[in-house]
Amino acid sequence: MQVVKKIFPILINRYFLVSTGFVVWMIFFDQRDYFQQKERTGELQKVEAAKKYYTDEIEKTKKQLNNLQSTPTAIEKYARERYLLKRDGEEVFLFEDTAKPVTSTSEKK
């Protein structure tokens, strides 16, 4: 009973009530509430990961371009691999993997 007498004045204190209301409003009802902030942080991490991926890809492409511009053998290799070009008198054979992937017994059920 004495604990209630000590806590009750604190609970009806207007500063405590306003502070509690403010915290509840900011966490749940505000335009930039806690849950939106967590969601946006996740989106930001995804965008930063994509930015890093594309930056790395740009660097690889720049190196490849520099190599192609400076080395004639690299141009020939690139043309043979990408565009399936061939020299006179050569034959190029392409093999496709038509085998179906083996499924485990747990996937068949």
Residue 1 has what pLDDT? 67
Domain span at residue 6?
1-30
Evaluate whether residue 95 is within a structural domain. no
Distance CA 80, CA 86 (A): 6
> Are 52 and 25 found together in one domain?
no
> Are 44 and 80 found together in one domain?
yes
* Counted domains in the chain: 2
Residue 56 has what pLDDT? 97
Two tokens, residue 32: 């930039």
pLDDT tens per residue, range 18-48 = 889 988 888 888 888 888 889 999 999 999 9
Distance CA 63, CA 102 (A): 39
Evaluate whether residue 72 is within a structural domain. yes
Evaluate whether residue 45 is within a structural domain. yes
> Are 12 and 46 found together in one domain?
no
Evaluate whether residue 97 is within a structural domain. no
Q: Which residues of the chain have pLDDT under 70?
A: 1, 104-109
Residue 6 has what pLDDT? 76
> Are 50 and 71 found together in one domain?
yes
> Are 11 and 43 found together in one domain?
no
